[in-house]
Structure 1
Amino acid sequence: MTFAAESAARATALAIFQAGVAAADPAACVGNYLHTAGDQLAIGCDGNIRSGNWRRIHLLSFGKAACAMAQAAVQIIPQTWLAAAGIAVTNYENAVAVDNVQVFGAGHPLPDQAGLAAAEIVVDRLKILRAGDLVLALISGGGSALLPCPVAGVSLADKIATTQLLLASGANINQINCVRKHLSRLKGGGLARLAAVAELHALVLSDVLDDDLSAIASGPCVPDDTTFAQAIDILQAYRIWPEIPDNVKNHLLEGNRGLHAETPKTGDPVFETAGHHLIGSNALSVDAAVAAAKSSGYATDLFSKRLSGEARMVAERLCLHAQAVCTGLDRPLALVAGGETTVTLRGTGKGGRNQEMALAFAIAAEAYGLDCRWTFLSAGSDGRDGPTDAAGAIVDNGSLARIRAAAIDPAAMLNDNNAYPALDAANDLLKCGATGTNVADLQVLLLHPNA
């Protein structure tokens, strides 16, 4: 592939990714589902509408898209209908001033004291609710870490240690959230329980596979049918139970014996006046990426809307699929996927699941002899991959050569979970900054026939 062709393919892959991100624009998504008509606030679209003349609306927005969602809401809802200034809790990178909204920056992916303080403010707001009020919850991915509200007897440090162990173990997001729900006053339907005296409606921007509302931000406004016993089983299955803080283990064991209230389940009366709408998702962003690829002149192949599993293994599967479709390839083809992979930490390096997947794909492409010109992008829709400043990476046929030219062994770096410096040496890191949204990850693989 010539330098010019390589650059053009990389630019196209980036444009396709950006189209997927744009489809999850939080402000536009809120605007599609929130309207005023006379003295009524209407929530929903396409005939699925909930409306009322609420005059004490409590606006709570949390997650990586909190500020953009709150901004859209306050532009639609008359200020006189708000009971007080809204509350928005987001990651530091996405924190911006919003009129008539208190904005709090907090830690992600690990919770911090700022998030704890913001959570206490949210709980205090829920304490002043009265019948006839509406709690409008604007929820996006990342809310689990950003709004930590530990149960009595469990400290924030305990929750952080537990979360770190889960993240490093390879547990998936649903498993991590199961544990977090049983250590929180807000997650797993906890917010709905605290808001039960009033009416509640959530507008949700999904960052999880299958758009499971109980998993997004750990499901603060919907039933949670997981149990204390399941939380214990997860920690034991990943062999991290012995390392879990004693306060956490004691709370889970006591809950399993019925000494603490379970999270509210399906059919619980606290949900009688609660509703929700899913306003954006990874699946919709994948559809937008596919459309953008078609507009760019590519034939398209939807590889998966539910990408999951160990990042390096998923990369190998994608490579094998690409190898199969490359046979007889007579026009450019775009393979598009979305979802959320996992990484089991075995090394001490720096990176994230998208960087690991990109490096693993380049290694697999060489190992299997992928016989076409290819460009692969894997990135987080929020603009951040793991604890790094990169969203992910864009690799191509020349990536491994560029890494080796810097005297770096790609396979050794992958084995050390150290994709970041390897990709940095190849100038393959994708750094786009915080996007203001979060609907999991997107993958774009462009295949071109050999000249």
Structure 2
Amino acid sequence: MFQAGLAAADPHACVRKYLHLTDAGIAIGCGDNLRSGTWRRIHLLSFGKAACAMANAATEVIPENWLAAPGIAITNYENVVAVNKIQVFGAGHPLPDQAGLQAAENLINRLKPVQAGELVLVLVSGGGSALLPCPVAGVSLADKLATTQLLLASGADINQINCVRKHLSRLKGGGLARLTATADLHALVLSDVLDDDLSVIASGPTVPDDTTFAQAIEILQAYRVWPQLPDNVKTHLRAGSRGLHAETPKSGDPIFENAGHDLIGSNALSVDAAVAAAKSSGYAAELFSKQLSGEARLVAEQLCRHAVTISRDLHQPLAIIAGGETTVTLRGTGKGGRNQELALAFAIAAETYGLHCGWTFLSAGSDGRDGPTDAAGAIVDRGSLTRIRAAAIDPTAMLNDNNAYPALDAANDLIKCGATGTNVADLQILLLHPNA
């Protein structure tokens, strides 16, 4: 079921569905919603965890002599592969690094000769925010990295983190569109956010941003990280809130008159595919949520209590499926990620609340990487806690230390599938079986 969800977000197939070569030129879109042009100079930019696969699909459609220059693809190191006619850059994720900054500078330089009548085709996928760091003047990459680390550890959600990052960046929050305003711009977007808000995916480099400097400051203060921020960050945000720096371009700005976009894949479509796979495997299927969010361990308890209620009158195998992106507020010093924490917390909750039917629970990231680990997530079952304790490990203590990885590793419950080449957030699948 998880693999079916990944297949629905295959970046190569998604791009090929939306990019077509016609007798007149290139057509972008699907069905009757097509944008056509006679562009003969196309600037191809791809960034995010699916950048290489998306760029490869585009080069299969676009004639080589129509490319104004070799395209650019910027992705995380695990997903770097050679692509014909594309210059590929590896960069850091989830935390930005110097290689990402150099790649971003290369991209900006590549856009300087863009002219009217040309097309800038941008292929966007999840992870683009970290992979394309380009701090504003006066803010260093180290400053921005420290800010990102504080937000990631605070429990702030992706929308809040991106609001702050947009106001510290030259490219995010419509910045890329501002650089290409003289040309035609079109983005094909693979979504990794719950509501498919284009202003949030990769921090919205090609679309308007209606957040403000003042909101960025409010977020940092609400999560109590403002006092720990680098002075350069605080100085820039304060100056921006007083109107001393230009705001990100808002809705209605004329720079977006020649800009278009298509959403070509999302977590919601992957959830639908997992539901269909469950039904074809003989399970009744229930959609728990397409926007699963909140603190991972609390979400685990909510899902478990729901399962306990259903299990009291369970007569056939049932798959309960969700998609989204939870958060973890770091209180310990252990190793793990939000999916591993969710899985371990579910196993503990199942014991606590008395989920007595047969059950198996998967929580995993569609990109194949959960937090700063080599695991995508985990699959736990009724025997998980027994296996963990047999290794002389206290599962509750490990959860409290945000140390799910070694506990789940001891139970042989980690999912290690490697980088998948796509990124549409996370999938959760709970299988319930009536007791024999």
Fold shared by both chains (TM-score > 0.5) = yes
One-letter identity of the residue aligned with 1:324? T
In the alignment, what sits opposite 2:110? 125
Write the deviation string for residues 170-200 of structure 1: whole angstroms up to 9, x where unpaired.
Answer: 0000000000000000000000001101110
Write the deviation string for residues 282-330 of structure 1: whole angstroms up to 9, x where unpaired.
Answer: 0000000000000110000100000000000000000011011111111
Instruction: Tell me how far apart the structure 1 counterparts of residues 77 and 176 of structure 2 sit (CA, whole Å).
Output: 23
In the alignment, what sits opposite 1:26? 11
1:201 to 180, 186, 210: 186
1:297-336 alignment runs, 5 A limit: 297-336=282-321
Residue 41 (1) aligns with residue 41 (2)? no
In the alignment, what sits opposite 1:423? 408
Cα drift, residue 80 of structure 1 = 1.0
In the alignment, what sits opposite 1:369? 354
1:103 to 78, 88, 94: 88
Cα drift, residue 389 of structure 1 = 0.0
2:369 to 379, 384, 401: 384
One-letter identity of the residue aligned with 1:165? L
Residue 235 (1) aligns with residue 220 (2)? yes
Instruction: Tell me how far apart the structure 2 counterparts of residues 326 and 302 of structure 1 sit (CA, whole Å).
Output: 16
In the alignment, what sits opposite 2:424? 439
Cα drift, residue 46 of structure 1 = 1.8
1:64 to 39, 43, 49: 49
Question: Aligned to 2:35, what secondary structure does the other structure show?
Answer: strand
One-letter identity of the residue aligned with 1:36? L
Instruction: Tell me how far apart the structure 1 counterparts of residues 67 and 317 of structure 2 sit (CA, whole Å).
Output: 52
Cα drift, residue 128 of structure 1 = 1.0
RMSD over equivalenced CA pairs, Å? 0.4
Residue 217 (1) aligns with residue 206 (2)? no
Instruction: Tell me how far apart the structure 2 counterparts of residues 127 and 168 of structure 1 sit (CA, whole Å).
Output: 37
Instruction: Tell me how far apart the structure 1 counterparts of residues 13 and 412 of structure 2 sit (CA, whole Å).
Output: 33
Question: Aligned to 1:130, what secondary structure does the other structure show?
Answer: coil
Instruction: Tell me how far apart the structure 1 counterparts of residues 273 and 190 of structure 2 sit (CA, whole Å).
Output: 16
TM-score, normalisation: structure 1? 0.96
Aligned length: 436
Question: Aligned to 1:97, what secondary structure does the other structure show?
Answer: coil
Aligned structure 1 segments of 4 or more residues deviating by more than 2 angstroms: none
One-letter identity of the residue aligned with 2:141? L
1:286-301 alignment runs, 5 A limit: 286-301=271-286
Cα drift, residue 65 of structure 1 = 0.1
Question: Aligned to 2:9, what secondary structure does the other structure show?
Answer: coil
Instruction: Tell me how far apart the structure 2 counterparts of residues 126 and 85 of structure 1 sit (CA, whole Å).
Output: 12
In the alignment, what sits opposite 1:270? 255
Residue 414 (1) aligns with residue 399 (2)? yes
In the alignment, what sits opposite 1:150? 135
Instruction: Tell me how far apart the structure 2 counterparts of residues 338 and 71 of structure 1 sit (CA, whole Å).
Output: 27
Residue 189 (1) aligns with residue 170 (2)? no
In the alignment, what sits opposite 1:9? none
Instruction: Tell me how far apart the structure 2 counterparts of residues 17 and 246 of structure 1 sit (CA, whole Å).
Output: 44
Instruction: Tell me how far apart the structure 2 counterparts of residues 360 and 226 of structure 1 sit (CA, whole Å).
Output: 34
Cα drift, residue 125 of structure 1 = 1.2
One-letter identity of the residue aligned with 1:299? A
Residue 337 (1) aligns with residue 313 (2)? no
Residue 92 (1) aligns with residue 77 (2)? yes
Question: Aligned to 1:211, what secondary structure does the other structure show?
Answer: coil
Residue 347 (1) aligns with residue 332 (2)? yes
One-letter identity of the residue aligned with 2:78? E
Question: Aligned to 2:412, what secondary structure does the other structure show?
Answer: coil
TM-score, normalisation: structure 2? 1.00
Instruction: Tell me how far apart the structure 1 counterparts of residues 107 and 91 of structure 2 sit (CA, whole Å).
Output: 14
Instruction: Tell me how far apart the structure 2 counterparts of residues 20 and 45 of structure 1 sit (CA, whole Å).
Output: 21
Q: Percent identity?
A: 81
1:66-85 alignment runs, 5 A limit: 66-85=51-70
One-letter identity of the residue aligned with 1:168? A
Instruction: Tell me how far apart the structure 2 counterparts of residues 239 and 254 of structure 1 sit (CA, whole Å).
Output: 20
Write the deviation string for residues 377-436 of structure 1: whole angstroms up to 9, x where unpaired.
Answer: 000000000000000000000000000000000000000000000000000000000000
Residue 261 (1) aligns with residue 246 (2)? yes
Instruction: Tell me how far apart the structure 2 counterparts of residues 264 and 328 of structure 1 sit (CA, whole Å).
Output: 54
Residue 448 (1) aligns with residue 433 (2)? yes
Instruction: Tell me how far apart the structure 1 counterparts of residues 411 and 110 of structure 2 sit (CA, whole Å).
Output: 50
One-letter identity of the residue aligned with 2:432? L
In the alignment, what sits opposite 1:13? none
Cα drift, residue 39 of structure 1 = 3.0
In the alignment, what sits opposite 1:179? 164
Instruction: Tell me how far apart the structure 1 counterparts of residues 72 and 25 of structure 2 sit (CA, whole Å).
Output: 22
